[in-house]
């Protein structure tokens, strides 16, 4: 990562953050020719959300990131005004090329007259450095102003796309033979998750550890109403028969406050399923007090499923590449409290309820920042054993052997 003149002390050491300007969702995650590509929602012109484009970084080790030139920019009119916003999407390997499928939001757009959201295709023949938008764009148009965030993956002999009808809280699944012509497969909704809008879906198979059993996992980001407050993510485990996803169990993906829009890499080596998310929350993302840059990614995590008495559960562990970074093994007895980041984050265990209690100190920049998160975690041998990863502006906590994750932005000097 390239250093900047930022003096806020918030610039992460091993989490990705852009050299300058704004970052939100990870986009176009694909492993290709030995490199992990991390595209991201980016404003190349300022440190606030706007002029949405795809930034780009690459890594061979998931720890050090080489930020590349902005990859996909908005089309402009004759006077140089943007005709679109380039929203989130994914990338796949097609022959020797990388192909990106992303949402284009037509401009001008306003709350009274929102622009259509359609899915566009761009192709790169040079490893993601330069992109050519397809002349046939859009490749998929539902006439909707809330149809976005396509995640495309290979399934058997064809492509599948998971996207959202965000305001209707639905995941829509499509299939294609050529990435251009798409046919609706099915739709997925869950009345138990009434909050929204729904954003940034992902759908992938995972093996249950220690078995041959393969189950499917669906991820969805939920803009408001998360357990910790503001935005958060749900996961479902279930089955996908090539047409329909049938859920069995659902929960929050992360019980902290700052893991959003997380999706997984396509084509990760060795059958791995590696997740990365945006280390923020729309409740206060715009106000985070960094200088010249704003936004970072979570640490990459390897996902697996573990068998439990009540069915398979998702497990997150620090990706092995990152695991070489220093971390804390925190052992909490009931009633004990660990103080992290100079006390800006306090983790205790409440014996009366059997819950981990994580208290984040309030901060002057947003009254929505301070919080108390609670999540049930069983004691093993009378203690709760936690793995805690600290970086300049974050704490990532894995409990119950990775079945519980809590991610927090922590701003020690601003509280």
- Interaction site with ligand FRU (CB under 6 A): 24-25, 41, 52, 87-88, 103, 148-149, 199-200, 261
Closest by Cα among 131, 183, 153 to 31:
153
Of 120 and 148, the one with the shorter C-beta distance to ligand FRU is 148
The single residue of 25, 149, 202, 400 carrying the catalytic annotation is 25
* Residue 291: C-alpha distances to residues 22, 148, 221, 363, 395 (Å): 10, 30, 27, 17, 20
Token pair listed for 137: 């764009």
Quote the least distance from Cβ 130 to ligand FRU, whole Å: 22
Nearer to ligand FRU, 16 or 398 (CB): 16
C-beta of 10: minimal distance to ligand FRU in Å?
20
Cβ distance to ligand FRU smaller for residue 86 or 388: 86
Give CA–CA dist 348/187, Å, rounded: 41
Whole-angstrom distance, CA of residue 385 vs CA of residue 404: 11
Catalytic, 25? Answer: yes
Classified as helix, coil or strand, 221 is: strand
Q: Rounded to the nearest whole angstrom, what is the least distance from the CB of residue 374 to ligand FRU in the complex? A: 25
Closer by beta carbon to ligand FRU, 263 or else 375: 263
Per DSSP, the residues of 326-389 read: --EEEEE-TT-EEEEGGGTEEEEEETTTTEEEEEE--BTTBTTS-EEEEEE---BTTBEEEEEE
Work out how close the CB of 282 gets to ligand FRU at its nearest, in angstroms, rounded to a whole number: 7
> Rounded to the nearest whole angstrom, what is the least distance from the CB of residue 221 to ligand FRU in the complex?
6
Query: Which residue lies nearer to ligand FRU by CB, 149 or 321?
Result: 149
DSSP 96: T
Instruction: Name the residue nearer to ligand FRU (CB basis): 230 or 402.
Output: 230
Alpha carbon 84 to its chain's center: 23
Q: Check residue 139 and report its DSSP letter.
A: S
Of 42 and 215, nearer to ligand FRU (C-beta) is 42
Question: How far apart are the two ends of the chain, measured CA to CA in Å?
Answer: 26
- The b-or-e profile of 103-132 (16+ CB within 10 A means b, else e) is bbbeeeeeeeeebbbbbbbbbbeeebeebe
Query: CB under 8 Å to 242, separation ≥6 — which residues?
Result: 155, 156, 185
Smallest gap from residue 160 Cβ to ligand FRU (A): 19
Q: Rounded to 10 degrees, what is the CA torsion of 264, 130, 109, 183?
A: -60
Q: How far is the CB of 148 from ligand FRU (least distance, A)?
A: 5
Residues with catalytic function: 25
């Amino acid at each position: 990562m390239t250093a900047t003149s930022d003096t806020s002390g918030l610039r992460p050491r091993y989490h990705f953050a852009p050299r300058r300007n704004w970052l939100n969702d990870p986009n176009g995650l694909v492993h290709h020719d030995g490199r992990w590509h991390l595209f991201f929602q980016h404003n190349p012109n300022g440190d606030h959300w706007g002029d949405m484009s795809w930034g780009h970084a690459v890594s061979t080790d998931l720890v050090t990131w080489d930020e590349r030139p902005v990859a996909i920019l908005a089309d402009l009119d004759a006077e140089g005004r943007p005709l679109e916003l380039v929203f989130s999407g994914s990338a796949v390997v097609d022959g020797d090329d990388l192909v990106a499928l992303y949402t284009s939001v037509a401009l001008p757009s306003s709350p009274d007259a929102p622009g259509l959201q359609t899915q566009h295709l761009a192709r790169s023949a040079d490893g993601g450095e330069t992109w050519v938008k397809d002349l046939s764009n859009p490749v998929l148009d539902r006439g909707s102003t809330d149809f976005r965030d396509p995640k495309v993956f290979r399934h058997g002999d064809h492509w599948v796309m998971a996207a959202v009808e965000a305001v209707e809280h639905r995941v829509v699944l499509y299939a294609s033979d050529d990435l251009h012509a798409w046919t609706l497969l099915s739709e997925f909704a869950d009345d138990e998750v009434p909050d929204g809008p729904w954003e940034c879906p992902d759908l992938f198979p995972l093996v249950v550890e220690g078995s041959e059993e393969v189950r499917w996992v669906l991820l969805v980001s939920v803009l408001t109403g998360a357990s910790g407050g503001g935005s958060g993510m749900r996961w479902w485990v279930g089955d996908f028969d090539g047409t329909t996803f049938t859920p069995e169990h659902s929960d929050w993906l992360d019980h902290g406050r700052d893991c959003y829009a997380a999706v997984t890499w396509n084509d990760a080596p060795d059958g791995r399923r590696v997740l990365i998310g945006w280390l923020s929350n729309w409740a206060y993302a715009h106000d985070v007090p960094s200088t010249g840059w704003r936004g970072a990614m979570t640490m990459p995590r390897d996902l697996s499923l573990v068998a439990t008495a009540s069915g398979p559960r998702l497990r997150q562990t620090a990706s092995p590449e990152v695991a070489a970074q220093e971390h804390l093994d925190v052992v909490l007895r009931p009633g004990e409290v660990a103080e992290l980041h100079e006390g800006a984050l306090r983790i205790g265990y409440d014996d009366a309820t059997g819950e981990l209690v994580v208290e984040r100190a309030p901060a002057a920049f947003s009254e929505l920042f301070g919080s108390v998160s609670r999540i049930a975690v069983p004691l093993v041998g009378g203690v709760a054993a936690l793995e805690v990863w600290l970086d300049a502006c974050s704490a990532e906590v894995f409990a119950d052997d990775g079945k519980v994750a809590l991610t927090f932005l922590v701003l020690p000097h601003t509280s």
